[in-house]
Amino acid sequence: MNLLQKLFPNIDDWGELGHACVDTLLMLGGSLLLTVLIGLPLGVLLYLTGNGQLRPMPKLYAATSLLVNVLRSVPFIILMIVLMPVTYFLVGTKLGIRGAIPPLVIGAAPFFARLVETALREVQQGVIEASQAMGASLWQIVRHVLLPEARSGIFAGVTVTAIALVGYTAMGGAIGSGGLGDLAYRYGYLSYKSDYMLVTVALLIVLVQMLQMIGDRIVTRYKQR
C-alpha cells in the first residue's frame, strides 16, 4: 500500500476505490446474469423464426429484429438517460447499482441475442435434419441439438457481452450509477485528479483481461468436447 501511495499521491481514500471496484463487479454480475436469461431465449426466437429455419415467421422475426436493432443502435449513455423513468418504475431509484442494472440489461440483451442467433446459425444443418428424421420435437431439437452444438459460440458471446458491459458500467458513472466510472468522473474529470483516472483505467484493463482469459478457456474446453 505504501508503494501505491507513493505512485499515486493524489488518491486520498483507497477504501473508496475498493468500494467502487465492488460496485462495478456487482453491476457486472447482476446485469450479465439477467442479460443471459433474457438474451438467450430472444436469440433462439430470432433463429427459429428466421427465413428457412425451423419455424419461419416473417412478421414476428421482422418485429423482433427491428426492436433488437433499435436498442442496439442507441448509444448506452443516451439509452440510460431515456430509460430513467422506466428504471425508477422498476427498481424505485435512478441511481446506484440498482438504478444501473435495468438500462445495462436493456442495452446488452439485444446485443447478446444477436450473438446467440449467429452461434445457432453455425450449427450444421445435417445434425438438425437427422434429429428431425428421428422424430424430435422443436423443443427437443433446441434443447438437445442446437444449444449443445452452439455452446462454444454462445460462451464466446457471453464473454464479448461481459466485456461490453464493463464499458457500459464505466459510462454509467457519468450519471451517478456508481462504480469505477463514477469515481473516475468525479475525481479524475471534475476534480482534475489524474491519479484516479489512471488507476481506474488500469483496473478496468485488468478486469477485461481476466474476463477474456476465463471466456477463452471455457470456449476452448467446449470446442474440444
Beta-carbon contacts of 42 under 8 Å, excluding residues fewer than 6 positions away, are: 64, 68, 109, 110, 113, 116
User: How far is residue 102's CA from residue 108's CA, in Å, rounded to a whole number?
Assistant: 10
pLDDT surpasses 90 at 64:
yes
- pLDDT bin (cut points 50, 70, 90) of residue 225 is low
Position 84 in a domain: yes
Looking at residue 36, what is its pLDDT? 96
CATH number of the domain where residue 215 is located: 1.10.3720.10
Any domain includes 137? yes
Cβ atoms of residues 158 and 215 within 8 Å:
yes
Q: Has residue 127 been placed in a domain? A: yes
Find out whether 143 and 41 touch, Cβ atoms under 8 Å: no
The answer as to whether 7 is a domain residue is no
Rounded to whole angstroms, how far apart are CA atoms 105 and 35?
A: 5
Give pLDDT tens digits for 68-113.
999 888 888 888 888 888 888 888 887 788 888 999 999 999 999 9
Length of the chain: 225
The Cβ of residue 68 has, within 10 Å, a number of other Cβ atoms equal to 20
Comparing C-alpha atoms, which of 160, 166, 159, 175 is closest to residue 200?
166
DSSP string covering 106-170: HHHHHHHHHHHHHHHHTS-HHHHHHHHHTT--HHHHIIIIIHHHTHHHHHHHHHHHHHHHHHHHH
Q: Is residue 5 part of a domain?
A: no
Query: Is 135 domain-assigned?
Result: yes
Q: What is the pTM assigned to this prediction?
A: 0.88
Q: Is residue 9 part of a domain?
A: no
- Residue 84's domain comprises 15-224
SS3 category, 25: helix
Please tell me the distance from the alpha carbon of residue 31 to that of residue 99, in angstroms, as a whole number.
11
The 10s digit of each residue's pLDDT in 146-199 is 999 999 999 999 999 999 999 888 888 777 777 888 777 777 666 667 777 788
Q: What is the pLDDT of residue 5?
A: 57
* Structural domains of the chain, count: 1
